[in-house]
Homo-oligomer: A and B are copies of this chain.
């Protein structure tokens, strides 16, 4: 670094900052594009196949007559299972009108033997909540954008509506090269503890596959570090490929004392096999380097993290096997995730990921199946 003058360093930093910002925005946007808001009836929520029967907001013309027939009611759509979904965009802006229509509608729906009612209340209308609860509705879940109210109408049947999600997903990325080294980082956030070396990782994003999350987290962590460390070595972004899930642990209670967390330990390797030598940076923000796998596994901090996952017994054995059979397992020119998924068919460690065909193009669902690589 001392050999670089400010004039050559600044433009590089600017370019990296801009690229990182754009990449971040792309990640952020990804989930918002081209998705229909879908709702399922309380009834159809009962089975895992429920989403087959989802109806799209404002698209179900078949039921249009129902909610136009009575102007005293809240605008709604019904589904084949006698569930009601109030159309969020047509909720009255006047609070008095909301109260009148809600109580009238609930009476009518009950008389007409509808079963479950869903109302997605935008946060701007949060003052409407109180009356909803007075009318016997309950809060199902909420986000920054909305509060979901629901009511189970049949008096003679137990409310079968399942709770909202209560599991977090996370990934750890064990990135290994041919020299039997792994990528280790020290996080910026040390929470007052002594900082320690760990594998990159983080949370699985909303509607993201586990394998993609591992690849993304590996890349993002590297990119983050690029700003502070690797740009000085004139390295650019590094792509990893997903090999397999080495194992996963489920832990509870987790955040808020009433959730659980599943953490998937993923095996990755850099697409570019050229070994990278990281300059050991003393900056307090972040550190990154290659570390001999044996050394990493023998660190006290690693042991204290991984002993719970039987890391040494399970993972080391798998990684040993992988390193011995490297040439058999991998094509020398894998370029993307799909390729690598095909390539690792030859390995027998961990769980492979197979992207599956959409059940229906209409629903645009993504499905991934993880299966053991055991060769029986």
Contacts and interface: CB of A to CB of B under 8 A. Distances in A.
Contact of A255 (B43, B45, B365): B45
A253 B365 contact: yes
Interface string A221-236: 0000000000000000
Given A165-B165, A203-B162, A252 B366 contact: yes
B189 A359 contact: no
Nearest to A37: B257
Contacts of A374: 318, 348-349, 372-374
Given A129-B126, A142-B141, A250-B367, A48 B170 contact: yes
Contacts of A314: 371-372
Looking at A255, A314, A371, A376, which has the most chain B CB atoms within 10 Å of its CB? A371
Nearest to A145: B139
A130 B126 contact: yes
A336 to B, nearest CB: 19
B255 A50 contact: yes
Given A48-B170, A142-B142, A207-B252, A372 B349 contact: yes
Contact of A372 (B140, B249, B350): B350
A206 B163 contact: yes
Contacts of A46: 189
A5 B250 CA distance: 50
Contacts of A354: 310
A129 B344 CA distance: 52
Contacts of A45: 255
A88 interface: no
Contacts of A54: 257
A309 B142 contact: no
A96 interface: no
A142 B365 CA distance: 26
Given A35-B258, A249-B368, A318-B374, 4 more contacts: A35-B257, A129-B129, A252-B366, A348-B376
A138 to B, nearest CB: 5
Interface in A248-301: 248-263
A250 B48 contact: no
A168 interface: yes
B143 A141 contact: yes
Contact of A169 (B167, B350, B365): B167
27 contacts: A35-B253, A35-B257, A38-B253, A39-B257, A47-B191, A48-B201, A123-B139, A126-B133, A127-B127, A138-B144, A139-B144, A143-B163, A165-B259, A166-B206, A166-B207, A167-B168, A206-B259, A208-B260, A210-B250, A247-B372, A251-B367, A252-B366, A253-B364, A308-B357, A320-B376, A348-B374, A348-B376
A147 B147 contact: yes
Contacts of A254: 51
A142 B164 CA distance: 9
Contacts of A369: 247-249, 308-310
B162 A257 contact: no
A308 B165 contact: no
Looking at A39, A204, A251, A262, which has the most chain B CB atoms within 10 Å of its CB? A251
Contact of A192 (B81, B252, B366): B81
A263 B35 contact: no
